[in-house]
Amino acid sequence: MHGVNVPLVIELTILVLAIFLGVEVISKVPTMLHTPLMSGTNAIHGIVVVGAILVAGRADADTLTLVVGFVAVALGTANVVGGFVVTDRMLEMFKPRAPRQGE
């Protein structure tokens, strides 16, 4: 994974563009959905589990790498799974008014 040297500048460009995109997309989320938004983004940063898997799965891993790596994998998985499940539970509750009512 360190064999390919992606230039730092490209990574920084991706970072900056992603930040602008994030602000753009998120400013359209209504206040009503801010708690699910926070919980949903919380699940998204659980993507660190990918990083944890990569470091814990090194072929030349010593004990420290294995122990710390697997703790990181467990934490990251809890973050991902818990985050998405909690967000789903919340969003499931948002229902429109029953059809009998008109505004």
Residues 55-74, interacting with another protein (CB under 8 A): 55-62, 64-66, 68-74
Verify binding: residue 27, another protein, rule CB under 8 A: yes
Verify binding: residue 95, another protein, rule CB under 8 A: yes
CB of 86 to another protein, least distance (A): 4
The DSSP secondary structure of 39-52, one letter per residue, reads HHHHHHGGGHHHHH
Verify binding: residue 92, another protein, rule CB under 8 A: yes
Residue indicated by tokens 């359209």: 28
CB 90 within 8 A of CB 38: no
